[in-house]
Amino acid sequence: MAENVEQHFRASERPFIDQSEGYIRQALDEYRPILTNFLNPRQRYILATLINRHTELAFRENGGYPDAESARVLIYPAYYQPELSDFEITVLEINYPTKFAELHHSTILGSMMHNGIERSSIGDILTDDNGIWQLILTEPMARFVQAEIDHLGKTKIRFNEVALAAIIVPEVELELINTTVSSLRLDTIVANGYNVSRTHAKDMIEHGLVRVNWTEIERPDFNVAVNDLISVRRYGRIKLLSENGLTKKEKWRVELAVIKK
């Protein structure tokens, strides 16, 4: 990979970069569309950066609804005209006794993983906060889930397929913040995003309350990169939208999207 591209990525992201370059080579060699599994925002940023080096290729993202956190990416030759069906997304609504049981995001995701389902086969898990839950999946995984899973935790359930048009689109309170920060450390970004002290942000990180791109990070000095999605328990989510260089006082200019809980 060219040095001027490589410098934008972490060493730990190398396996995904290699996987992305494999998708791109396949699209070029076979001259046909290639579909990824569900990717988080940072992964999609990396993949888009690599695709954009090839003028003969284009791409689109789809997670089932606009601004989905998890989305599949279709990489295709410039001549191709993508259709919605190309993304092979299925939405399952969970039918369960709402009067006697309560479901939670962690219970649903945990049950999926316990049944051997990879996280990349699962898109967003949605709720209307009135007991209705929906699960966005790849088409093959949706068939497996409907056939094989009849309990989430201790709750007996049934999955019903619904149209994409019936997806519960989350209502979010989004705040865009343009600010300067002393560094791109995780504790600094969390502190600035939610206007809490850096000590409090550090404590939350060290106590396992913060995830970056769905992975628990307990290092306050972890460096945040563009399009990282930071989840802070009981607060909400933060995405680093852009990093716009240093000020004369050696502070970083950043734009944050703060999604409040």
**Of all residues in the chain, what percent carry a pLDDT higher than 70?**
97
Q: What is the pTM of this model?
A: 0.88
The distance from CA 99 to its chain's CA centroid, rounded to whole angstroms, is: 31
The 8-class DSSP code of residue 131 comes to S
What is the H or E stretch that residue 24 is in?
A: helix 14-30
Whole-angstrom distance, CA of residue 84 vs CA of residue 103:
30
* C-alpha dist (Å) from residue 89 to 39, 65, 119: 13, 11, 15
Which ranges of 115-220 would DSSP assign to H, the alpha helix?
A: 139-148, 186-194, 198-206
Q: How does pLDDT run across 27-37, given as a tens digit for each residue?
A: 999 999 999 99
Lowest-pLDDT range of 167-171, 233-237, 257-261: 257-261
Lowest-pLDDT range of 4-8, 24-28, 189-193, 247-251: 4-8
> Contact 231/250 with Cβ under 8 angstroms?
no
Q: What is the pLDDT of residue 231?
A: 94
Q: Is residue 3's pLDDT more than 80? A: no
- Cβ partners under 8 Å of residue 218, min gap 6: 205, 206, 208
Q: What is the pLDDT of residue 2?
A: 46
The single-letter code of the amino acid at 37 is N
Q: What is the pLDDT of residue 7?
A: 64
Whole-angstrom distance, CA of residue 136 vs CA of residue 141:
10
Q: How confident is the model at residue 1 (pLDDT cuts 50, 70, 90)?
A: very low
Q: What is the pLDDT of residue 174?
A: 86
Mean pLDDT, rounded, of the chain: 94
Q: Is residue 261's pLDDT more than 70? A: no
Q: Is residue 4's pLDDT more than 70? A: no
Q: How does pLDDT run across 173-230, given as a tens digit for each residue?
A: 889 999 999 999 999 999 999 999 999 999 999 999 999 998 999 999 999 999 999 9
Q: How does pLDDT run across 105-151, given as a tens digit for each residue?
A: 999 999 999 999 999 999 999 999 789 999 999 999 999 999 999 99
Question: What string of H, E and C letters represents the secondary structure of 78-116?
Answer: CCCCCCHHHHCEEEEEEECCCCCCCCCHHHHHHHHHHCC
> Contact 258/194 with Cβ under 8 angstroms?
yes
Give which of 42, 34, 38 is closest to 59, Cα–Cα.
34
Section 41-53 average pLDDT: 96
